[in-house]
Structure 1
């Protein structure tokens, strides 16, 4: 019989863990959380560094290529609207419907991966993505091109939540911010580097060559996933998450933050599980979960009551809305009078977008990790997930100002410099905000982080689709200043007011919600 349990039953820490302790020599040692297995070398947390990085990079490349070929087509929208005799609003569907699919089908892939394993999902989906790009490259009608993008988004949606969950599969808590930042750069980078490259390709060779280039890279990525991404699903005893593993800590090498890392050792008499060889790790089928598949599909939804999940998906939603709104609108601004730019010049607007993404990922990843180490040291080695939220002040200030710069720049027909600066400032939010808030979700609900992140990634795209579907009529009705001014206000309210509330009451809310029986077994 199915029953509901609380997060407290799976993780006694409720997200609050001892992350540092002072050694006899007076240094602050980082404690490994989660605790790696002492006896199983197949535990992903015990993989070699290069093996972790290659697997993680392959998944990042997968999510990058999903957005590269779909979102990267934006500079060709003006040309495609003429070629297929479609309106500006109709042409935008090439991006809008894939955004919806990228979110909705998280609710399909995550339960499938939890039941059958992540490896079979990634292998199949990466192959399907390659096939869809071939379809798009030879499409002869707008409808065919649209459907190729939609099915490609279905394949690529497998990486939206599962890619973020792999961060927790492979890396420890003190590494999560940086790796989540890299992953978010892979998502956003496809939407910035894609249009940048596509602009030049469209002008010189035609939009179909953009798709063919994506075919080549996705085929290579499929081989990389098949060869170098073993199964990362691992049955870890939730009770061990609360352990500090203090009896097995030894001093490791110093990290850039000046804190030496605690490394676990294994006693000589502990029985060891045989280590799988390379050929064994190539197996697609690794068995199914003991939990019923139907339960897997419905299990995530009750977790929407967790404050961390609600806040993260709202922050991610508004960040995505603002950035994609600029992606949709800028070709119709810069390629039309009075700017009259060619597609390859139009694509250059993604340079500040890419730089904004890089800065946002650094601020939300590495800088947050450094800040957390500092705060944890001052807190007697105790880490609170809410520590990550302080640095949301960076995207809060930069992105809200960027909205106003871009809106006024377009409506007042100011220099292209204002549009570039505005877009760069806006782009900071697309990496900084979800990097911080999704790591916060993982910290708060680690045993069920795949399901929790599924809600964040799935719901954010549904909300974004609802906003973006009407963004062109909205702009045509009230103008750019009102639209982007309103978006700036919504962003400040959700990120700023919500973040301040969690900084004050988040720990208490987290400990209370950890006792709610909303997790289905």
Structure 2
């Protein structure tokens, strides 16, 4: 039995995704283990790099830290604009827009519902295209859709034109909501991912609250059309920055380097590397390492084909990965937790614009400071704790890292259920909106812990399917969002917020309680999946099998 109760597998000597992370305790048990493998630098010199970077300077793992950070900041800005801001853009002004168009508030909510429906429907195609032709074209095309949709919205004078604008904007979201997460796996090693996962989930899950703080006053003082007018220059700059400074991160790396995806142990991989080096010495005619691409070569929109699979297989793949029970758990837990937070945003204007609160669009927007601060604290907490925690657990496990250690950070997720229930209870009792905003922040703290821990587990345990995991997760949650847009407002009006959020809170508690079985038996299930991979039996491949 491994540290903290992770059960050892009885069938494979080395289970995929189980890797030597800390060389010091590992070498005490096996002095030759890790010899010949590349390590981190400075204070991370004892850390074995997983996956192993190739010798190709164009390998994204070999990009300089500055270049990686620049790329993450630019794509992160795209995620803020498209994945975090566009969907809730109109939320603080729902009542204002409904009055202008003389429509029920439910009709205005459904406009955003259609946007989310487009996001969910385009997800599998974004996944397939990114597998086939890379992530860069998807980011560029998506940003153009966002810019065009925003221009249409700035000219909208009718309900139908606004609906058209939101549908076009919907095509901009899928890439920035899902591919940014798998991009972390393209560029960063296992011991570096926790911080970037935390920041990314903060952007996707909490930054939208700050947009509500800004959008509320804009709607109240300038009118809702200025939300689109002001958005246009940001969208235009994002397009230019993406084109110039975000090269392709999709990379077909030799399988020998993927220590977290293969079933050989470190000694065998080391031996293979030694043998390959010996062969290279005997074969001077062997092709040399390719030169690094120039700046302008890296700005190419299409850089080749990364998969020989037919397009239909690639479209089906995100749905097929749900045959893996652990992945299905990740999709449901991360998707539903974020869906509960979105349900809160749907009813904010409905609850706080009515008596006894009677808040304006600005006031409703300011209430989002509570969840924004809660989400920020959650992201900082996970960014500070996540990677050191897996390092601590790995050292006590003989230097061996198990992806299940990422699930330890699910524990603060209990705050999500508690916060959701308290939010509904306090709104029902018409408590101070300062108190409700504080509780809203508490539940988002817990929701972010759930989303970050489950997503980090997915990218570490099943990195070969990471793009499909986050695409299907995005599809799932956006269809849930769309469904919520049809009934949450009416349910809240008829049953009251207490009943609604008691139900949501209970489900959130249940999801957290479902974690221990996966933590204990997760390694054995990874072994079972490797030996009985249903995707291989169905001839549906993911990128590691290309």
Length-normalised TM-score, structure 2: 0.85
Determine the C-alpha separation between the residues in 1 that align with 2:335 and 2:464.
24
Alpha-carbon shift at residue 516 of structure 1 (Å): 2.4
More strand by share: 1
Query: Where does residue 55 of structure 1 map in the other structure?
Result: 71
Determine the C-alpha separation between the residues in 1 that align with 2:485 and 2:145.
27
Q: Does 1:488 align with 2:496?
A: no
Determine the C-alpha separation between the residues in 2 that align with 1:308 and 1:24.
28
Alpha-carbon shift at residue 244 of structure 1 (Å): 4.7
Cα deviation per residue 1:434-461 (whole Å; 9 max; x = unaligned)? 2111111111111222122222222222
Are the counterparts in 1 of residues 206 and 444 from structure 2 also a CA contact under 8 Å? Answer: no
Determine the C-alpha separation between the residues in 1 that align with 2:502 and 2:173.
32
Query: Where does residue 518 of structure 1 map in the other structure?
Result: 534
Cα deviation per residue 1:271-297 (whole Å; 9 max; x = unaligned)? 422110101101112112322222211
Determine the C-alpha separation between the residues in 2 that align with 1:421 and 1:70.
23
Are the counterparts in 2 of residues 368 and 388 from structure 1 also a CA contact under 8 Å? Answer: yes
Give unpaired runs (5+ residues) of structure 2: 1-12, 29-42, 260-264, 272-279, 542-546
The answer to which of 17-26 and 201-210 deviates more is: 17-26
Q: Does 1:149 align with 2:137?
A: no
Alpha-carbon shift at residue 308 of structure 1 (Å): 2.5
Determine the C-alpha separation between the residues in 2 that align with 1:481 and 1:275.
59
Q: 1:72 aligns with which of 89, 114, 127?
A: 89
Query: Where does residue 505 of structure 1 map in the other structure?
Result: 521
Query: Where does residue 391 of structure 2 map in the other structure?
Result: 373
Alpha-carbon shift at residue 162 of structure 1 (Å): 0.9
Determine the C-alpha separation between the residues in 1 that align with 2:447 and 2:164.
26
Are the counterparts in 2 of residues 103 and 157 from structure 1 also a CA contact under 8 Å? Answer: yes
Cα deviation per residue 1:284-331 (whole Å; 9 max; x = unaligned)? 121123222222112232210223311111112221222111111111
Query: Where does residue 360 of structure 2 map in the other structure?
Result: 342
Number of residue pairs matched by the alignment: 490
Query: Where does residue 354 of structure 1 map in the other structure?
Result: 372
Query: Where does residue 451 of structure 1 map in the other structure?
Result: 468
Q: Does 1:191 align with 2:193?
A: no
Secondary structure of residue in 2 paired with 1:471: helix
Change (3 A) 1:430 1:86: farther
Determine the C-alpha separation between the residues in 2 that align with 1:487 and 1:514.
35
Determine the C-alpha separation between the residues in 1 that align with 2:479 and 2:435.
30
Determine the C-alpha separation between the residues in 1 that align with 2:420 and 2:470.
27
Determine the C-alpha separation between the residues in 2 that align with 1:57 and 1:50.
10
Determine the C-alpha separation between the residues in 2 that align with 1:29 and 1:466.
49
Q: Does 1:94 align with 2:111?
A: yes
Secondary structure of residue in 2 paired with 1:72: coil
Give unpaired runs (5+ residues) of structure 1: 1-10, 249-266
The answer to which of 456-465 and 174-183 deviates more is: 456-465
Query: Where does residue 324 of structure 2 map in the other structure?
Result: 306
Alpha-carbon shift at residue 22 of structure 1 (Å): 1.0
Structure 1 segments, 4+ long, off by >4 Å, are 23-28, 243-248, 267-270
Alpha-carbon shift at residue 393 of structure 1 (Å): 1.2
Alpha-carbon shift at residue 190 of structure 1 (Å): 4.1
Are the counterparts in 2 of residues 106 and 157 from structure 1 also a CA contact under 8 Å? Answer: yes
Q: 2:101 aligns with which of 78, 84, 91?
A: 84
Q: Does 1:237 align with 2:254?
A: yes
The answer to which of 460-469 and 175-184 deviates more is: 460-469
Length-normalised TM-score, structure 1: 0.89
Are the counterparts in 2 of residues 307 and 510 from structure 1 also a CA contact under 8 Å? Answer: no
Change (3 A) 1:208 1:103: same
Q: Does 1:14 align with 2:16?
A: yes
The answer to which of 510-519 and 53-62 deviates more is: 510-519
Alpha-carbon shift at residue 152 of structure 1 (Å): 0.8
Alpha-carbon shift at residue 171 of structure 1 (Å): 0.6
